[in-house]
Structure 1
Amino acid sequence: MVQFKFQLFKFDGICQTVALTLCPLMGKFDGIEPMCYSRNVEFAGLLVFQPATLMMDLGALCMTSVMIYHVKTKYTAVGRKEIAMFFQLYLVTIFLEMLLVTNIIPTASILYPFFTAAHLGLLSACFWCLMLNGFVGFQFAEDGTPISLWSIRITSFLVFFIVGFIAMATFSNLGPFSYTSPGALWIIFFLVNGSMFLVYTVSQIILVAYTLDDRWPLGDIAFGTIFFVSGLVVMFIFSVALCEQVKHYFDGLFFGSMFNLLAVMMIYKYWDSITKEDLEFSIDSKHQAWEIQALLKEDEEVVCH
């Protein structure tokens, strides 16, 4: 039985457990390999890593696109444009992660560190955008207004840029940053991102408890949290054991992608359950249709007479 070694401010133990996108750039010059990882397949002359994770990520891209479409069709729902930004960031993050973990962008490529830094920046921007969406329901700024939208856009871009810069500096041993001691990147990856998720969760519990009559959305929050935490546990603790049990067909990265998708789907379900679309326009359109039908019927009666 392989024991999981968790080290503060270092990715060595984690990268020996699961093949994160940053692992080939951590610890030493040629990176850290996991003890057990999903077997590779050759497709059209290209060696594809993590084929099971690739399929899961493709499914996540499809499901996220569907969720974005449904969010955009709820024209009068509260926070529609704000939550759409989160799903769009998640979509781009998953797409970039798919390119990195599957060797479509090879680890030996000179571009790999840049794309990995962008992926880590997008990941933190996702958590930041989600946290800010947690405050939309409190109406500190009216949703859909320029101040609400641009505050999320600008600050999310700043988070993306800052985290991306720290990641790139860590990969390049620039200044106080080093891939042998990636303390700053570790703090961002685990503590900062985790804190933003926690703030979002607590804010939504308060929102439901004190402003809504319906308590059912609390179930969506609970399931989303359970899925998110389960993904972390499976990836960072049980990945090696699962990989060995299933003969290298998939590892913890596959389950991490699956549970993360389920968590994001629960965020959509929660948002959908607490936002009631204004039916004023649809009622008006139906009323107008009835008036037109009544006028046409009167015209037919006149013609008949």
Structure 2
Amino acid sequence: MIQFGDFNAICEMVALTVCPLVGSPDGIEPDCYSRNVEVAKMLLFQPATLIIHVIALIMTSIMIYHIKSKYTAVGRKEMVMFFYFYMMVTFLELLLVSGIIPTASNVYPYFTAAHVGLITATFWCLLLNGFVGFQLTEDGTPLSLWSIRISSLVIFSAIFFLAIATFKGMAAFNPLKPVALWIAIFIFNGVALAFYVVLQVILVLNTLDDRWPLGDIMFGVVFYVTGQVILYVFSVRICDAAKHYIDGLFFGTICNLLAVMMVYKYWDSITKEDLEFSVGSKQNVWEVKELLGEDELAYSSNNQSGFLQGGEKGNDDGHFLVVMMNKTF
């Protein structure tokens, strides 16, 4: 049973990146985990989860591209920072979980500390994005952007130091009793996510006429909670049933990706892009001007024919009509 400040029950269920570094001098090994494969004389752990990480990186790149393409959308620059954080978390997790950076390596604790710090900074960035819609500061301004960047850097640095101090047993921190690290990973991140959800529900109910974005929020919460339940409750059962081909980390990674995609879907549903309509109207204006020019030329050529047939009076009348048409248009 999971206890406050204790990684033992969690790490016996699922192979988190911090598990080889806490709980005991040799770390904590899960009761059941996905089998490894050999690729180019190198053992890769969690091969199925590794594929999901690659897919997550591709999908995140696509979402970042679409966010950047909405030039006039509210909170565009702030939201794209969240997805950059998620991309960095996914990339580091890919290196650590797959064994590309071995647990016995001297740099493994530092990469793990960076991974934990980036996770917390990602939740913090998401929380700050929850305030953007309330326009406490104008989005896209240096104040809005740098407040997120600097505060996220502070959070990352603090959690990085906390993780390294815990892993190395520095100061008053102890890898056998990593209570502070447990609070940072599970309590702080959970509270930040809960605040973000509450803020977005208030934003939709108070400022938007459309209630459909609430469905995006609901699906995002469902995906995330489902992933956490699979990770910390059903991972060993899934691993045993699948004969060690996959475990809860595989489905947890999928659910996290779906939750992040719902964050994008929600943001996209509450923002509008005016540039598309303005470009379209300009194209129509230019088309009308071209057609008017052709009509004037045709009318002028007809008047020239009238001049050849009707003489000087016809030319004066035709010239008068052309001048009047030009003034009218």
Q: TM-score range by the shorter chain?
A: over 0.9
C-alpha displacement of 1:294: 2.3
What is the distance in 2 between the residues matched to 1:152 and 1:106? 33
2:278 is the alignment partner of 1:281: yes
- Aligned partner of 2:243 in structure 1 is 247
- Over 3 Å counting, the alpha-carbon distance change for 1:214 and 1:176 in structure 2 is same
C-alpha displacement of 1:32: 0.7
- Aligned partner of 1:56 in structure 2 is 52
Q: Flag structure 2 segments of 5+ consecutive residues without an equivalent.
A: 303-329
2:298 is the alignment partner of 1:301: yes
- Aligned partner of 1:125 in structure 2 is 121
The one-letter code of the counterpart of 1:281 is: S
C-alpha displacement of 1:200: 0.1
What fraction of aligned residue pairs are identical, expressed as a percent? Answer: 57
C-alpha displacement of 1:293: 2.9
C-alpha displacement of 1:288: 3.8
2:5 is the alignment partner of 1:19: no
The one-letter code of the counterpart of 1:21 is: T
TM-score in terms of structure 1 length: 0.95
The one-letter code of the counterpart of 2:42 is: L
Which stretch of the first structure deviates more once superposed, 237-246 or 26-35? 26-35
Which stretch of the first structure deviates more once superposed, 291-300 or 72-81? 291-300
C-alpha RMSD over aligned residues? 1.4
C-alpha displacement of 1:292: 4.6
Mapping of 1:1-305 within 5 angstroms?
5-279=1-275, 281-294=278-291, 297-298=294-295, 301=298
C-alpha displacement of 1:303: 8.7
- Over 3 Å counting, the alpha-carbon distance change for 1:113 and 1:302 in structure 2 is farther
What is the distance in 1 between the residues matched to 2:296 and 2:188? 69
What is the distance in 2 between the residues matched to 1:169 and 1:149? 30
What is the distance in 2 between the residues matched to 1:295 and 1:215? 45
- Over 3 Å counting, the alpha-carbon distance change for 1:299 and 1:127 in structure 2 is same
TM-score in terms of structure 2 length: 0.89
C-alpha displacement of 1:290: 1.9
What is the distance in 2 between the residues matched to 1:304 and 1:59? 63
What is the distance in 1 between the residues matched to 2:289 and 2:227? 55
What is the distance in 2 between the residues matched to 1:48 and 1:264? 26
Structure 2 SS opposite 1:42:
strand
C-alpha displacement of 1:276: 1.1
Q: Flag structure 1 segments of 5+ consecutive residues without an equivalent.
A: none
Question: What is the aligned length?
Answer: 301
- Over 3 Å counting, the alpha-carbon distance change for 1:95 and 1:304 in structure 2 is farther
Once the two structures are superposed, residues 225-252 of structure 1 have per-residue CA deviations (whole angstroms, 9 ceiling, x without a partner) of: 0000000000001000000000000101
- Aligned partner of 2:326 in structure 1 is none
What is the distance in 2 between the residues matched to 1:7 and 1:293? 75
The one-letter code of the counterpart of 1:64 is: T
Once the two structures are superposed, residues 185-243 of structure 1 have per-residue CA deviations (whole angstroms, 9 ceiling, x without a partner) of: 00010100000000000000000011100000000000000000000000001000000
**Structure number having the greater helix percentage:** 2
C-alpha displacement of 1:298: 4.1
Tell me which structure has the larger Cα radius of gyration.
2
What is the distance in 2 between the residues matched to 1:288 and 1:303? 23
